[in-house]
């Protein structure tokens, strides 16, 4: 592979941005939604099906992969792209968030985090340097700084202390990342819902310099209103010529609200996890397929949707296979949900190109919760 990492904004509509991230592994149309492939698979999907939904990039989880099958093993096998049969770009998180939420017996110091694996109880340590090494071994195209953040609500002192530790780790991450043409390192802004701490964090990151910037520490319990209030100002602290990534978001209306506020990239397990638990996203709201009212319904989930679940199957079938715990239920509903999320992104990209994001937003909200569908 040749080429370099690059980003350009090609259109705007108020604060919403349409752009393209170029990488040696292909282009990423922004605003972009990244499906999550935690353990080297987007659950219940073949990689070519994920690509068929319109995904330009996947997210992989450093924490899970370092424990099983291990980064060293993936490296020996030719890297994560080859391992999981996905040749488009991959972004990996740093492991910082998940080690604090999933691992056992974790201990946080200036150096990093020691913990026990939730899989087999083995001892591990994650530091900025080790996180960079793991993400390099995986072959990640977009590498995230190793960071730490408290769940919200949290008191201001805890948020400030955590943010400043993450900024010191960001500097160590930049140093450890080194010079890797074609690969990008993203800094992660912290500071909770404290405007001055967000600004302090952004200044610290800009002084180090990154190929992109994430808004971290949101979607951790603060609620949509508080998140949007933070997004009303936080993205503006970041360089306009670099991609802005909102981590772990979200529901469709979270995504629309984030793009409206200048976010370029997002990721969330919601479409795949909901697919496995029988929730389907449609432009009219969420369909809970396990509900008995679907058992005789010959209609598709969404008559306008072109995904395989909607073109090939009735709600009655999807209800049946969900109730019978058949694997095809997860396969079809996950495909539908990923298709819906990618179509939502395409609709937003089109609206921004036409400088009509406000019109898109009005249509998006007007279409919800009609008829017999549960509101989102």
For 85, 275, 282, 363, 367, the CA distances from 303, given in Å and listed in that order, are: 32, 18, 10, 17, 14
Compute how many residues bind its own copies; rule: CB under 8 A: 36
Q: Is 277 in the site for its own copies (CB under 8 A)?
A: no
Token pair in block for residue 106 = 């974790």
Selecting among 93, 254, 297, 302, the annotated active-site residue is: 93
According to the binding rule CB under 8 A, does residue 46 interact with its own copies?
A: yes
Q: Does 331 engage in binding with its own copies (CB under 8 A)?
A: yes
> Residue 299 interacts with its own copies (CB under 8 A)?
no
Annotation says 350 is catalytic: no
CB 244 within 8 A of CB 212: yes
Q: Can residue 323 be called a binding residue for its own copies (CB under 8 A)? A: yes
**Residue 44 interacting with its own copies (CB under 8 A):** yes
300 lies in the site for its own copies, by CB under 8 A? no
Residue 303 parent element (H or E): none
Q: Tell whether residue 68 is a contact of its own copies (CB under 8 A).
A: yes
52 Rama class: left (phi>0) / alpha (psi -120 to 50) / beta? alpha
Give 3-state DSSP helix, strand, coil % of the chain, rounded to 5.
40, 20, 40
Stretch that binds its own copies, among 91-99, 128-136, 235-243, 291-299 (CB under 8 A): 291-299
Q: Which of 83, 186, 213, 322 binds its own copies (CB under 8 A)?
A: 83
Taking the least distance from each CB to its own copies, the nearer of 298 and 375 is 298
Give dist(CA 121, CA 60) in Å, integer: 22
Q: Is 267 a catalytic residue?
A: yes
How many Å apart are CA 360 and CA 348, to the nearest integer? Answer: 7
Q: Say whether residue 313 binds its own copies (CB under 8 A).
A: yes
Residue 340, CA distances (Å) to 26, 53, 191, 285, 327 in order: 22, 8, 32, 11, 20
Tell me which stretch binds its own copies (CB under 8 A): 158-166, 177-185, 285-293, 307-315. Answer: 307-315
CA distance 167 to 187: 9
Instruction: Give 73 or 363: the residue with its C-beta nearer to its own copies.
Output: 73
List, in sequence order, every residue forming a beta bridge with 114; answer none if it has no partner.
107, 125
Residues of this chain that interact with its own copies (CB under 8 A) are 39-41, 43-47, 68-69, 73, 76-78, 83-85, 295-296, 298, 308, 312-314, 316-317, 319-321, 323-324, 326-328, 330-331
Q: Which residues are catalytic?
A: 93, 267
């Amino acid at each position: 592979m040749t080429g370099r990492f690059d980003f350009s904004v090609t259109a705007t509509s108020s604060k919403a941005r349409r752009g393209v991230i170029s990488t040696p592994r292909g282009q990423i149309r922004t605003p972009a939604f990244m499906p999550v492939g935690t353990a080297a698979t987007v659950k219940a999907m073949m990689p070519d099906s994920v690509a068929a939904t319109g995904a330009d990039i996947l997210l992989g989880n450093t924490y899970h992969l370092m424990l099983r099958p291990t980064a060293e093993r993936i490296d020996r096998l030719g890297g994560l792209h080859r391992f999981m049969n996905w040749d488009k770009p991959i972004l990996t998180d740093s492991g910082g968030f998940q080690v604090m939420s999933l691992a056992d017996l974790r201990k946080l110091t200036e150096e990093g985090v020691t913990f026990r694996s939730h899989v087999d109880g083995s001892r591990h340590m994650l530091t900025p340097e080790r996180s960079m090494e793991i993400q390099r071994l995986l072959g990640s195209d977009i590498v995230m700084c190793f960071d730490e953040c408290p769940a919200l609500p949290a008191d201001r002192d805890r948020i400030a202390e955590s943010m400043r530790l993450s900024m010191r780790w960001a500097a160590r991450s930049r140093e450890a990342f080194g010079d890797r043409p074609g690969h990008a390192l993203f800094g992660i802004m912290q500071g909770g819902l404290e405007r001055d701490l967000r600004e302090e964090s952004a200044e610290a990151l800009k002084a180090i310099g990154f190929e992109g910037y994430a808004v971290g520490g949101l979607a951790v319990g603060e609620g949509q209103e508080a998140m949007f209030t933070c997004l009303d100002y936080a993205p503006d602290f970041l360089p306009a010529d670099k991609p802005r990534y909102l981590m772990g978001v979200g529901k469709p209306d979270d995504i629309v609200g984030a793009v409206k506020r200048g976010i370029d990239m997002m990721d969330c397990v919601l479409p795949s996890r909901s697919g496995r638990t029988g929730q389907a996203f449609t432009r009219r709201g969420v369909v809970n397929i396990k509900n008995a009212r679907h058992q005789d319904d010959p209609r598709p989930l969404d008559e306008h949707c072109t995904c395989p679940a909607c073109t090939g199957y009735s709600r009655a079938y999807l209800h049946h296979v969900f109730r019978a715990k058949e694997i095809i239920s997860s396969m079809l509903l996950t495909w539908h949900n990923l298709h819906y999320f990618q179509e939502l992104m395409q609709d937003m990209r089109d609206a921004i190109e036409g400088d009509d994001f406000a019109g898109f937003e009005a249509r998006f909200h007007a279409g919800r919760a009609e008829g017999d569908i549960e509101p989102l």
